């Protein structure tokens, strides 16, 4: 078995190639400046430099100046720092390895460059120089080496860490920079052609070595047997739980959004299920019209023990609408764009790993919201429902950008709507008074964190038995900045990153004492039956908490439910259904026995198992596709409306 130190040694071993690279570069430098200096092609290098010097033009000089700037010491350090900080701060899970890869590539290349120039003396070309000549040797080019390490490193991250075809375009643009810098150094008379070639080799080899050491996938140790985590004994079970993992589960339905869950991931899901002993597995694919596929037919046809949802929040929402209150557990394979429920529940970001961890864990009860309105048939949500700014942002996010940039597509869409006019609305919480308000956006949340851990609703807990509401009404640029600063501070201080199980079930209305550190939360409780609420960020954000929220808009507004567009309308009513949904969650998220906020449900008891064939769906009342699932595009089964959802047109529009 690979030990931790053994794995670390395996990772660092390629770094031993760096001294070898240094020796080879020094050898090449000594050859170029010594015995090979008067031989072709080195003998012709002066002509190349003279040709560039004789063809200088004003525009070309300006371009070369820019290229020199972005590859200069200051430029490279600045861009590297910004990218490293962004890699650590922006994604939900800090990209430490990628940040270290980028920083280490640039630093190692610079160190090698310095050590090479200590051993190789080469004068600059004998043409006029457009930059002050630094004291270092002309061989190799430091600008070119640094640009390869930095922009080549960014291209590597784009190709290996982004999704969609645009990553290749981004990588191609980044890869144009080093050759362009190389030409600019020749043009400016600062290097011989062999210097820039040396810089290219130095940067590229350093990048390869560091990339191999830090980014190359390593063989993982076999997963521990179910019921054990990392080889340690199982955690003590909390009261009420009769078993963790899914060993008692017999019948599994996998709901797969075919566009979000590619065949490769589907295969990984199959493998994980087999590893956890789930052999009776039925697959159903979603379509735009049937966002949970034939799940309803399967649940109607016989007992389903576990539903595995491979998709984004929209697919999870549709399945949760079907399963809420049924006692059938749901496991999330987060492969959509936002995956906010998975993020808020602290599931691993890697889809197959999320399922693997969850199946070793426990069944936990979380709340769902039930939302309705004019033209919006009652349906459930697990994340957030809203109107105004966030709804138009969801509506107008380009599918092409979503495929290439992921959740950044929503940011692009949001920027386009920053100037939208505010809505006039009235809000009624529980049985309180109707309160008039003006807002750009209203969001009702079961969970509170957005991408990157931005705590839009810092007090929202999926197990609180309540819904949290935020109204966004910034006045002018200052208001927007105050709101953004407030949310960023919350993100930095890690609010809303607490996984489920650390909240307070049944917490009552907020009092204003729980504001993000560093901000002034203004507690305001309206007299008599008025709602408990708090204002922050110069009044740009106003928070409420309730079991039932009834919002009426003066005019028709865009609405969204868990990131799916709903028809426009003038009303949004949401009510919490406490603990209505059973979710299979990793064991580390289980509540401690002293804090049983999230109720752990027994796994299905391994009832005396009939002979295997008797367990199979094919022999139970079969769904319309003959029990074969529609993995292979079988016939479409009629779908009954979700439990508690009146038979009416689909409430939610297809995503754009
Ligand atoms: N086969 C399909 N083809 C086209 N659209 C589909 C298909 N299956 C489901 N949909 C639509 O996709 C939407 C649900 O997508 P989902 O939310 O799961 O993924 P996402 O948008 O990538 O992720 P997220 O909600 O996390 O941002 C629904 O609007 C549904 O109607």
- Residue 606, CB half-sphere, CA atoms under 13 Å: how many? 8
**DSSP-derived secondary structure for 485-546:** HHHHHHHHTTTT-SPTTSS-TT--S--STTPPTTS--EEEE-STTPPEEEEETTTTEEEEEE
How far apart CA 486 and CA 490 sit, in angstroms, is 6
- Output the CA 495–ligand 1 centroid distance in Å: 29
- Output the CA 312–ligand 1 centroid distance in Å: 7
Smallest CA-to-CA distance from 559 within 439, 413, 440, 387 is with 387
Q: Which residues of the chain have pLDDT under 70?
A: 1-12, 91-93, 217-249, 404, 494-532, 588-656
The topology (CATH level 3) of 251-605+614-619 is Tumour Suppressor Smad4 (2.60.200)
Contact 550, 381 (CB under 8 A): no
Query: What is the per-residue pLDDT across 389-430, written as a single tens digit (0 to 9) for each?
Result: 989 998 988 887 777 677 777 888 888 888 888 999 999 999
How far apart CA 207 and CA 209 sit, in angstroms, is 6
Token readout for 424 is 């006039």
Ligand 1 atom nearest residue 340's Cα: 26
With a CB cutoff of 8 Å and minimum separation 6, the contacts of 226 are 245, 246, 247, 275, 276, 277, 359, 360
Ligand 1 atom nearest residue 257's Cα: 8
Query: Of all protein residues, whose CA lies closest to atom 8 belonging to ligand 1?
Result: 287
- Output the CA 612–ligand 1 centroid distance in Å: 35
Query: Of all protein residues, whose CA lies closest to atom 4 belonging to ligand 1?
Result: 288
Query: Of all protein residues, whose CA lies closest to atom 15 belonging to ligand 1?
Result: 314
Query: What is the per-residue pLDDT across 214-239, written as a single tens digit (0 to 9) for each?
Result: 887 654 443 333 333 333 333 233 32
- Output the CA 48–ligand 1 centroid distance in Å: 57
- Output the CA 372–ligand 1 centroid distance in Å: 20
- pTM given for the model: 0.57
With a CB cutoff of 8 Å and minimum separation 6, the contacts of 628 are 282, 618, 634
At 88 the pLDDT is 81
DSSP classification of residue 334 = E
Contact 508, 532 (CB under 8 A): yes
At 218 the pLDDT is 54
Ligand 1 atom nearest residue 410's Cα: 27
Query: Of all protein residues, whose CA lies closest to atom 18 belonging to ligand 1?
Result: 312
Alpha helices (H) in 276-312, listed in sequence order: 295-301
- Output the CA 226–ligand 1 centroid distance in Å: 32
With a CB cutoff of 8 Å and minimum separation 6, the contacts of 594 are none
Strands (E), 360-500: 362-373, 376-381, 384-388, 423-429, 434-439, 441-445, 467-472
At 226 the pLDDT is 35
- Output the CA 421–ligand 1 centroid distance in Å: 29
Token readout for 392 is 């138009």
State which of 258, 316, 336 you would mutate to test the pocket of ligand 1, scoring each by most atoms of that ligand within 8 A of its C-beta: 336
At 15 the pLDDT is 79
Smallest CA-to-CA distance from 444 within 473, 468, 471, 472 is with 468
How far apart CA 280 and CA 296 sit, in angstroms, is 18
State which of 164, 310, 314, 565 you would mutate to test the pocket of ligand 1, scoring each by most atoms of that ligand within 8 A of its C-beta: 314
Q: Where are the domains positioned within the chain?
A: 4-214, 251-605+614-619
How far apart CA 557 and CA 221 sit, in angstroms, is 52
- Output the CA 313–ligand 1 centroid distance in Å: 8
Dihedral sign, Cα of residue 183, residue 185, residue 191, residue 197: negative
- Output the CA 346–ligand 1 centroid distance in Å: 22
Query: What is the per-residue pLDDT across 317-350, written as a single tens digit (0 to 9) for each?
Result: 999 999 999 989 999 999 988 899 999 998 988 9
Q: How far is CA 235 from CA 177, 228, 360, 361, in A?
A: 53, 8, 11, 10
At 409 the pLDDT is 79
Query: Of all protein residues, whose CA lies closest to atom 30 belonging to ligand 1?
Result: 288
Contact 124, 182 (CB under 8 A): no
Q: Kindly report the number of other CB atoms within 10 A of residue 434's CB atom.
A: 10
Q: How far is CA 440 from CA 422, 542, 602, in A?
A: 4, 12, 44
Alpha helices (H) in 148-192, listed in sequence order: 153-161, 166-187
Return the axis-axis angle of helices 17-33 and 96-119, rounded to nearest 10°.
Answer: 30
Ligand 1 atom nearest residue 311's Cα: 18
State which of 163, 261, 312 you would mutate to test the pocket of ligand 1, scoring each by most atoms of that ligand within 8 A of its C-beta: 312
SS3 280: strand
With a CB cutoff of 8 Å and minimum separation 6, the contacts of 546 are 429, 430, 432, 466, 467, 469, 509, 531
Residues enclosing ligand 1, CB less than 6 A?
257-260, 286-288, 291, 311-315, 336-339, 563-564, 654-655
- Output the CA 250–ligand 1 centroid distance in Å: 28
- Output the CA 650–ligand 1 centroid distance in Å: 14
State which of 410, 655, 656 you would mutate to test the pocket of ligand 1, scoring each by most atoms of that ligand within 8 A of its C-beta: 655
How far apart CA 200 and CA 36 sit, in angstroms, is 20
- Output the CA 269–ligand 1 centroid distance in Å: 19
Q: Kindly report the number of other CB atoms within 10 A of residue 652's CB atom.
A: 25
Query: Of all protein residues, whose CA lies closest to atom 19 belonging to ligand 1?
Result: 312
How far apart CA 546 and CA 434 sit, in angstroms, is 13
- Residue 204, CB half-sphere, CA atoms under 13 Å: how many? 9
Q: Kindly report the number of other CB atoms within 10 A of residue 518's CB atom.
A: 11
Phi, psi of 650 (to 5 degrees): -50, 130
Instruction: Give the mean pLDDT of the chain.
Output: 79
Ligand 1 atom nearest residue 285's Cα: 1
Query: Of all protein residues, whose CA lies closest to atom 10 belonging to ligand 1?
Result: 288
At 179 the pLDDT is 96
- Output the CA 167–ligand 1 centroid distance in Å: 22
């Amino acid at each position: 078995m690979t030990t931790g130190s053994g794995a670390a040694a395996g990772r660092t071993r390629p770094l031993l190639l760096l001294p070898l690279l240094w020796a080879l570069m020094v050898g090449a430098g000594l050859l170029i400046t010594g015995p090979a200096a008067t031989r072709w092609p080195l003998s012709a290098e002066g002509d190349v430099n003279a040709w560039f010097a004789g063809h200088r033009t004003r525009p070309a000089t300006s371009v070369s100046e820019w290229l020199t700037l972005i590859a200069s010491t200051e430029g490279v350090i600045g861009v590297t720092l910004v990218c490293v900080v962004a890699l650590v701060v922006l994604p939900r899970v800090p990209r430490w390895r990628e940040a270290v890869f980028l920083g280490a590539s640039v630093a190692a290349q610079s160190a090698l460059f310095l050590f090479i120039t200590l051993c190789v003396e080469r004068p600059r070309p004998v043409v006029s120089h457009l930059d002050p000549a630094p004291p270092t040797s002309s061989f190799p080019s430091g600008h070119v080496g640094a640009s390869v390490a930095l922009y080549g490193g960014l291209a590597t991250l784009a190709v290996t860490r982004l999704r969609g075809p645009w990553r290749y375009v981004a990588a191609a643009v980044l890869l144009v920079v080093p050759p362009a810098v190389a030409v600019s150094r020749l043009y400016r008379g600062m290097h011989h052609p062999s210097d820039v070639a040396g810089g290219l080799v130095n940067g590229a080899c350093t990048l390869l070595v560091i990339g191999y050491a830090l980014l190359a996938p390593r063989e993982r140790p076999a997963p521990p047997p179910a019921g054990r985590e990392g080889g340690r004994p199982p955690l003590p079970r909390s009261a009420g739980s009769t078993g963790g993992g899914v060993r008692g589960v017999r019948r599994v339905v996998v709901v797969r959004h075919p566009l979000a869950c590619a065949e490769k991931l589907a295969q990984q899901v199959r493998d994980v299920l087999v590893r956890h002993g789930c052999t009776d597995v039925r697959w159903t694919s979603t379509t735009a019209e049937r966002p949970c596929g034939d799940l309803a037919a399967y649940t109607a046809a016989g007992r389903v023990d576990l539903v595995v949802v491979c998709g984004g929040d929209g697919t999870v929402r549709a399945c949760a609408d079907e399963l809420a209150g049924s006692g059938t557990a749901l496991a999330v394979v987060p492969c959509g764009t936002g995956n906010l429920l998975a993020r808020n529940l602290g599931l691993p970001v890697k889809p197959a790993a999320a399922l693997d961890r969850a199946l070793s864990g426990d069944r936990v009860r979380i709340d769902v919201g039930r939302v309705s309105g004019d033209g919006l048939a009652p349906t459930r949500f697990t994340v957030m429902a809203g109107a105004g700014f966030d709804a138009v942002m969801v509506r107008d996010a380009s599918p092409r950008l979503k495929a290439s940039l992921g959740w950044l597509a929503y940011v692009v869409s949001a920027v386009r709507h920053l100037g939208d006019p505010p809505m006039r609305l009235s809000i009624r919480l529980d049985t309180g008074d109707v309160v008039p308000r003006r807002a750009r956006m209203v969001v009702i949340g079961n969970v509170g964190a957005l991408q990157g851990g931005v705590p839009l609703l810092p007090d929202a807990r999926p197990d609180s038995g309540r819904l949290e509401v935020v109204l966004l009404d910034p006045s002018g640029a200052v208001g927007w900045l105050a709101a953004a600063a407030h949310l960023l501070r919350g993100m930095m201080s890690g609010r809303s990153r607490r996984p489920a199980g650390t909240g307070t079930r049944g917490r009552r209305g907020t009092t204003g004492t729980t504001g993000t550190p560093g901000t002034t939360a203004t507690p305001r409780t309206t007299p008599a039956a008025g709602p408990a609420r708090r204002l922050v960020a110069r009044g740009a954000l106003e928070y409420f908490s309730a079991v039932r929220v009834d919002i009426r808009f003066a005019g028709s507004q865009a609405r969204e439910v868990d990131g799916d567009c709903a028809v426009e309308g003038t009303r949004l009513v949401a009510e919490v259904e406490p603990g209505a949904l059973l979710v299979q969650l990793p064991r580390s998220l289980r509540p401690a026995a002293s804090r049983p906020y999230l109720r752990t449900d027994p796994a299905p008891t391994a009832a005396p198992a009939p002979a295997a064939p008797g367990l199979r769906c094919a022999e139970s009342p079969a769904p319309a596709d003959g029990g074969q699932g529609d993995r292979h595009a079988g016939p479409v089964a009629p779908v009954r409306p979700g439990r508690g959802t009146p038979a009416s047109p689909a409430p939610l529009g297809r995503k754009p």
